[in-house]
A = this chain, B = another copy of it.
């Protein structure tokens, strides 16, 4: 018994996808980082550094002062957006990480595809379904590898949860509850990151910015796509006049599993993912934020095992996977087609919120 728990703990943070050892890497993937907002500066660039499979090479932002400051601080090449898109420094990088506002992903991904560069694009993949499809097509047509930045998918707690489901530890999944909320105006702070409030740049706020976590993580864990969605959105504060401040939505899967999800940009900071099956329940709480310790719990019958584990640096893990798959010439799980599943569902939730009706996705 003790051996079982010891082995489970030792294995908890294993990289089940890793075939190429980190110390076998001589030439890590050189990454150009586009869009130097809070997440890129505080999480992505440190993550790229920590990963053995990647290294930062170029940085780029619409704000030349930000570009210059980050380039100087990290001793990287700093370029303006049109330089990057034109390929002026294309010999400096192997891949492009796009962390710009949602509605500007397309222009950078199209440019990277034309240059034959691999792409890691932040989620949601674009501001609208139409633009998301164009983005994925651009990579497909150019034959460049596209990964979408679902950092939960390389988090060990999420991977272990997915394995629990796949191994039948929960029996048949019956329902899922997932929630994510934050005090956005307080937490994100600077104006630089408040493009999320501009519908033209973001495509929406609560759903696009955080709704994607309950949605994508549920899809990933269940290895299934919703066949129907139903949702509502609403806004109270003036800052959210043109976008959704709160959203709740239900995802229906082919086998009748229902995922009940809620997100808010102005509620108590919290996040939770709970998967209940005929024989067990698995919980991550907190679940979705990169800056706090996830806890994993599994209940079966009257017993419960709770796992506190050495957290990974989520962006480091995500970039390690990105670089590893490129160097090992393996495909990405969260690829363009996978991301379009989110784009279709998000589009359908907005449609449902407008019409008040269920929107089918399997038509």
Which of A104-112, A276-284, A337-345 sits within the interface?
Answer: A276-284
Within 8 Å by CB of A250, from B175, B250, B276, B280, lies B250
The answer to whether B177 touches A179, judged by C-beta atoms less than 8 angstroms apart, is: yes
CA–CA, A230 and B261, complex, Å: 14
Within 8 Å by CB of A267, from B174, B246, B252, B272, lies B174
CB distance from A237 to the nearest CB of B (A): 10
1/0 per residue, CB under 8 A from B, across A150-181: the answer is 00000000000000000000110011010101
CA–CA, A179 and B177, complex, Å: 8
Q: Which single residue of chain B is at the shortest CB-CB distance from A298?
A: B268
CB distance from A239 to the nearest CB of B (A): 13
* A264 interface hit (Cβ, 8 Å): yes
* A266 interface hit (Cβ, 8 Å): yes
The answer to whether B260 touches A234, judged by C-beta atoms less than 8 angstroms apart, is: no
CB distance from A349 to the nearest CB of B (A): 13
The answer to whether A234 touches B256, judged by C-beta atoms less than 8 angstroms apart, is: yes
* A67 interface hit (Cβ, 8 Å): no
* A274 interface hit (Cβ, 8 Å): yes
What are 17 inter-chain pairs, A to B, with CB distance below 8 A?
A174-B262, A175-B181, A175-B246, A177-B177, A177-B260, A230-B250, A232-B258, A234-B256, A250-B250, A258-B262, A262-B276, A267-B278, A268-B301, A269-B301, A269-B302, A270-B299, A356-B358
